[in-house]
Structure 1
Amino acid sequence: MRDAIVVGAGGGGPVLAKELAGRGLDVLVLEAGPFHRDPEREWSRYENDCNNPADGYFRFGSSDRFEQPPWYREQPQYSFVFQLAGTGGTTQHYFGNSPRAMPGVFAGYTGADRAAYDVAHRFPFGYRDLIPYYEWVEATLPVQTAAMGTKEALFFHGCERAGLPVNTTKDILRESFRPQENAILQPGGTAGRTDDSARLLFPQATGCTFCGYCFQGCLEPRRASRNLKAKRQTDNSYVPMMLTAHRWGGRRATLVPDAFVTEVLTEQRGGRTVARGVRWRDTRSGAVHEETAAVVVLSGGCTENPRLWLNSGLPNPNGWVGRGYTDHAIDWVIGVFDSYTGNSKGAASSARADFPGRGAIEQVGLPPALQALSLGLSDSGVRGAYDNGRGPVGAWDGRAGRVVGAELEAVLSDVDRLVNVLVLTDDDVEPDNRVLRSVFPPDEHGPIPKVVFDQRTRSLRTRRNREFLCDRAATVLRAAGARTVLRMDFPPVPLHVHSTMRTGTDPADSVLDEHAEARWVDRLFVGDNSALANALGGPNPTLTTQALATRTAERIVAKYFGGDPWVRSETPVSSLDDRVTQGVLDGALD
């Protein structure tokens, strides 16, 4: 019997596993997807090879990507859930952006803009309660002020000319712009100073080499050990740490990839339902196994956690399992410039502007194929031909919509004359945006999930936030000197998903208590984005998820293993520590 089983090795699971293993607990981590041991050999710069949802190495499916189909989700609306399976989860293609949540989404907030937020679905504790855990994660990854280039300078110039002040703190207290705080190591040595690949090898080059391919996992710098790769996706940071926890007095966690958990096992104790383990399927052999543990943590993501809960027949008396599927209602605005912007160079996103109660906008750089994809995603049809009756014409040129024909050719003629801005709304928690069990035939892991949400039926506040932020993005690009500004009107493409197993102040509309333990199943916790109470005000969710997971680990140790809280009394071990080595990773898997 294990001390703890963690289901999923994405953005949150390895954080919990590392903290629990560091306290000497016997931790088993089960990941449905693969573990890429050698990205320099297994990954590529080919964008389709990475991102193809059918057979890309970053897909939601088994590690046998050429012989096995992807795992299916029913999506009745025009949408695509941009998530993947595998150790590191969707952090493998995130941009490393690590802002803190807006204080207004937490209990006890008394700011003048209090009513601008989703006041019915706040976190059940205060913002200050989470700050020590933010600091812990920021030191562990580490999180640093982003390295910047031409595209960021243009964005800042536009923000200044649009009248926004600069923010010099980590806290979001007013409308302002600033460099990103991101989990990407800053360039050192020859990194960022040359595009000669022969001079960008570790240790001559350290940190970000400005390759521009953040969305495809991080290979840079070549020859660096896994924990010294530039982007701090969890397979480069927390996974190595959980596998080497014994080196600083803990116990090494055990990672099993290709292990799809199909059921949470429970028993009755004193009239209460208690988690006692899981049943999982080896996705390569088809063999079924059971493991027992004192504590089970679900970290399979906002779609798979509700599916696993419902397929396990766990209690759901208020019906909120799977509800509250928030995703920042993203949109995309592109500025076309007459001069060089450096769009395809450097860390993908190193500059942002925040608007409390509304959301955020952030500059994004893309390589050519993903840039072409961004120009073709729209819920408004062809630009200038349709608008579906949604939204006024803003500071962008003409009607929103996808770009085609001669205009597309002109825009893509030089991707380094573009600046992209991603719009991230503060999305309301809505009960009808949810994950259900589909009536479609089950797959080998049981009934599949049905993801229900539609851009056109979101709350009035969310839709107003989206229009406001798109207009602000266009205004910033205009002020920066863009000669043309294009708005895409994206369909639902969830990159940031939250809240389907939410913690909350009210037992009537939440699944978890303030410590992220299930209200109706003892010893069952949730440790990923699905535990978030809301959309955080608009900031990227990974840092808050990891801070909350650290806090949850502390509570697990204190409640079930007789431990004392340790976060505020000890210095975190950095994922760059010399004790975290590639040699330990080799052969560390069961």
Structure 2
Amino acid sequence: MQIKEATEQFDVIIVGSGAGGGMATKILSEAGLNIAVIEAGPFFDPADPKTRTQLKWPYESPRRGASSSRPFGDFDMAYGGWDIEGEPYTHKGGTKFDWFRSRMLGGRTNHWGRISLRFGPKDFKRGSIDGLGEDWPISYEDVKPYYDKVDKLIGVFGSKENLPNDPDGFFLPAPKPRLHELYYIKAARKANIPVYPSRLSILTKRINNDRGACFYCGQCSRSCSVYADFSSGSCLIFPAQKSGGQIRLYTDSMVREVVTDPSGKATGVVFINKNDRKEYKLNAKVIVLAASACSTARILLNSKSKVHRDGLGNSSGLVGKYLHDSTGTSRAAFVPELMNRKRYNEDGVGGMHVYTPWWLDNKKLNFPRGYHLEIWGGLWMPSYGIGFGANGLNKFIGEQVGGYGNRLRDDIKKFYGAVMGVSMRGESVPMEDNYCEIDPDTVDEWGIPVLRFHYNWTKYEKLQAKHSHEIFEEIFDSMGAQLLGNKPNSESDYGLDAPGRIIHEVGTTRMGNDPKKSVTNKYQQLHDADNVFIVDAGPFVSQADKNPTWTILALSWRTCDYIISELKKQNIS
């Protein structure tokens, strides 16, 4: 196919507009660099009334808000999902990995839970602590200044608790616990399990003139029309444009490969415009990949040349290797004391107001890495049923209700808000044998070879899940709740969600000091091409039991400062 080459020379091309790409856009454009941002999905602004779903009622959807093409429902702001028509992926060896992609400006940051946790000092040195995997080539102290900057720029609520591996930051006031969370606090503390205010990137207090404060509609997954929650477009890209940054957006553009010259240096990228289905090439001095851990690995593996025969940056053979996702499993319960509760607006923020960080010593347990606990429940919109796990209430409802019409409706209301649940999100052990690679026999509708996944949970993740269910039972027993569903067992891997289902995948382009054992250096710069950088979660050496977004943002900012410095020194030309 004929490739149309742009005449304009950019300083930097950024592939992807999520957390890492958005931060790179802001920092590099504000340094005066001419930026091209390439996004695989359409333009999106949550304030645009044409696409806004915030504050819409269930009856405004043909499916009453239930799932259609969007995996989390009609109103959720995720264009994409685990399965996208025309963009398949495959599996190897009978293993399973569900790959979530969000095709829109801002990517997954438009619908995520906004849980914004720093990695702690131990999280960067797990290899030395338990002998599994590797240490990061950087420490918490290297990243701390950038965590601080991210806190102040974007805003995060929470409370200072002086926990050694859950570092404090610069916090906005945390919202008060809701009723189901008060029940959790009482029961957890009775079981000697600590509880603290959550740390979410939602503005409970206004911090600048560009963004409003949260008005507690509980719909952050729809992306906030007043920009009170963090989304990459709202909080990074739009402000960078407003401040005069030289930013050219290429939306609906699927990157195929990074192009290199005869010496192996990157010169630009080739992408397919989804609207006219033609191929285009952009040129730049620096390429920043922020397409997500797996998408970036796919681009690199498809970027083959005489110098980079196995793919760009893959001289170590490790591109795509050490893929890992957070672990996750949940349990719901019916709380009799919450029956017949009063109805009032307790929506709050779109997520938990309290949580439990990892509190135990793994040396005393039979698994090496920890997890945190997330709490959910309350007076959700009735379109979602009378609560999570509503089907499990049949045995209770059947004993107490009957008839039809208003009588049945009134009886069912007795249980509204009486279901709550706890989820664990934990750290898995990075394994070289968990990976993504190019499928030699399958392409997507744009003609680009797709990824093939190979992934298995180890015994450590299964034992971690088993332990979490014991904790769930202890908490619910302390509040006199009745567990819904059957307790998971070894045959179901103790209820572990399939790899990829938590949407925290990291590790496909891991950083390190040795080019033979890593893909990037400590500044997320390819060992094999010094003008290519990766600012998504691919360079993560390990995941920690925390959500990765805050660390993606901090490391992206750190990398951008390094890029600016290297350009000034003319070390990158």
> One fold, TM greater than 0.5?
yes
Q: Deviations over 1:57-87 (max 9, x none)?
A: 62338xxx9xx93522224645533331111
Q: Which residue of 2 aligns with 1:41?
A: 50
**What is residue 468 of structure 1 aligned with on the other side?**
467
1:526 is matched with 534
Q: Structure 1 70/350 Cα, relative in aligned 2: closer, same or farther at 3 Å?
A: farther
Going from structure 1 to structure 2, the CA distance change for 1:370 and 1:274 (only over 3 Å counts) comes to farther
Whether 1:257 aligns to 2:263 is no
1:251-330 to structure 2, matched below 5 A, reads 251-269=245-263, 273-313=264-304, 314-315=311-312, 316-330=314-328
Q: How has the CA–CA distance of structure 1 residues 6 and 415 changed in structure 2, closer, same or farther, with 3 Å as cutoff? A: farther
Secondary structure, in 3 states, of the residue corresponding to 2:37?
strand
One-letter amino acid of the structure 2 residue matched with residue 538 of structure 1: D
C-alpha distance in 2 between matches for 1:34 and 1:415:
38
CA–CA separation in structure 1 for the residues paired with 2:118 and 2:15: 25
SS of the counterpart of 1:416? coil
Name structure 1 gaps, 5 residues minimum: 166-176, 189-202, 377-402, 565-590
CA contact (8 A) 1:14 1:242 kept: no
Query: How many angstroms does 1:347 deviate by?
Result: 2.5
Answer yes or no: is the 8 Å Cα contact 1:187–1:209 preserved in 2. Answer: no
Q: Is 2:573 aligned against 1:554?
A: no
Give distance in 2, aligned partners of 1:143 and 1:426. Answer: 23
Tell me the SS of whatever aligns to 2:12: strand
Change (3 A) 1:519 1:206: closer
Secondary structure of residue in 1 paired with 2:554: helix
Q: Which residue of 1 aligns with 2:476?
A: 477
Tell me the residue number matched to 1:138. Answer: 151
Please tell me whether Structure 1 or Structure 2 has the larger radius of gyration of its CA atoms: 2
Q: 1:405 to 1:422 in 2, by over 3 A?
A: closer
Decide which of 155, 167, 175 is 1:147's aligned counterpart.
175
Q: Aligned with 2:443: secondary structure?
A: coil
Report what 1:388 is aligned to.
none
Q: Hey, what does 2:374 align to over in structure 1? A: 362
Query: Which secondary structure does the structure 2 equivalent of 1:81 belong to?
Result: coil
Q: Pick the aligned partner of 2:121 from 89, 97, 103.
A: 103
The aligned amino acid for 1:58 is A
Q: Distance in 2 between matches of 1:369 and 1:502?
A: 42
Give 1:406's aligned residue: 394
Question: For 2:539 and 2:69, how far apart are their aligned partners in 1?
Answer: 28
Which residue matches 2:228?
230
Kept in 2, the 8 Å contact 1:343–1:417? The answer is: no
Aligned-partner residue type, residue 43 of structure 1? R
Length-normalised TM-score, structure 1:
0.74
Shift of 1:213: 2.7
Structure-2 residue corresponding to 1:2: 10
| Equivalent runs, 1:313-352 vs 2, <5 Å | 313=304, 314-315=311-312, 316-338=314-336, 339=338, 340=341, 346-352=349-355
Identity of aligned pairs, percent? 21
The count of residues paired between Structure 1 and Structure 2 equals 483
* CA deviation map 1:162-192 (0-9, x unaligned): 2134xxxxxxxxxxx311111111178xxxx
1:415-470 residue CA offsets vs partner (Å, 9 max, x unmatched)? 522222221111111112111112443121411112332xxx32222222222233
SS in 1 for 2:50: helix
SS in 2 for 1:41: coil
Taking the aligned partners of 1:345 and 1:449, their CA distance within structure 2 comes to 39
CA distance in 2, matches of 1:324, 1:372: 40
Matches of 2:483 and 2:87, distance apart in 1: 40
Shift of 1:298: 0.7
Deviation at 1:264, TM superposition (A): 0.3
The partner residue of 2:39 within 31, 39, 58 is 31
1:122-179 deviation line (CA, Å, top 9, x unaligned)? 22111111111000001111112242322332332233212134xxxxxxxxxxx311
* Partner residue, 2:448: 446
Structure 2: distance between partners of 1:476 and 1:507:
47
Q: Given that residues 264 and 279 in structure 1 are in contact (C-alpha distance below 8 angstroms), is that contact kept between their aligned partners in structure 2?
A: yes
Map Cα deviations across residues 237-282 of structure 1 (whole Å, 9 max, x no partner): 1121222242xxxx3322221111111011244xxx2111101111
Whole-Å separation in 1 of the counterparts to 2:114 and 2:570: 32
Q: Which residue of 1 aligns with 2:79?
A: 59
Say if 1:327 and 1:283 are closer, same or farther in 2 by CA, change over 3 A: same
Cα distance between partner residues in 1 of 2:273 and 2:423 = 38
Pair 57,106 (structure 1): closer, same or farther in 2 beyond 3 Å: closer
Residues 485-523 of structure 1, C-alpha deviations (whole Å, 9 max, x = no match): 556714311321111112135444321111101111221
1:69 aligns with 2:69: no
Q: Structure 1 residues 53, 213: CA separation in 2 closer, same or farther (over 3 Å shift)?
A: closer
Residues 408, 185 of structure 1: alpha-carbon distance in 2 compared, 3 angstrom cutoff: farther
Change (3 A) 1:209 1:473: farther
Tell me, what secondary structure is at the counterpart of 1:143?
Answer: coil
Residue 224 of structure 2 corresponds to residue 218 of structure 1: yes
Give the alignment's TM-score, normalised by structure 2. Answer: 0.76
Residues 557 and 563 in structure 1, CA contact (< 8 A), matched pair in contact too: no
CA contact (8 A) 1:425 1:469 kept: no
* Aligned-partner SS, 2:40: coil
Question: Matched residue of 1:364: which SS?
Answer: strand
Residues 436, 451 of structure 2: 8 Å contact kept: yes
C-alpha displacement of 1:363: 1.6
Match of 1:497 in 2: 505
Matches of 2:118 and 2:279, distance apart in 1: 40
Distance in 1, Cα, partners of 2:386 & 2:276: 39
2:100 and 2:243 map into 1 onto residues whose CA distance is: 32
Q: How far apart are residue 375 of structure 1 and its match?
A: 4.7
Question: Deviations for 1:201-256, whole angstroms, at most 9, x for unmatched residues?
Answer: xx9x953333233333334xxxx4xxxx221121221121222242xxxx332222
Tell me how far apart the structure 2 counterparts of residues 410 and 255 of structure 1 sit (CA, whole Å).
Answer: 56
- CA–CA distance in structure 2, aligned partners of residues 312 and 523 of structure 1: 15
In the aligned structure 2, how far is the partner of 1:54 from the partner of 1:310?
A: 33
Task: Letter of the 2:85 partner, please give it.
Answer: P
Residue 213 of structure 2 corresponds to which residue in structure 1? 207
State the Cα RMSD in Å. Answer: 3.3
Within 2, Cα distance between the matches of 1:424 and 1:477? 18
Contact 2:330 2:422 in 1 (8 A): yes
In the other structure, the counterpart of 2:135 is 122
Deviation at 1:374, TM superposition (A): 6.7
Q: Work out the CA distance in 2 between the residues paired with 1:289 and 1:350.
A: 46
The CA distance in 2 between the partners of 1:374 and 1:452, in whole Å, is 31
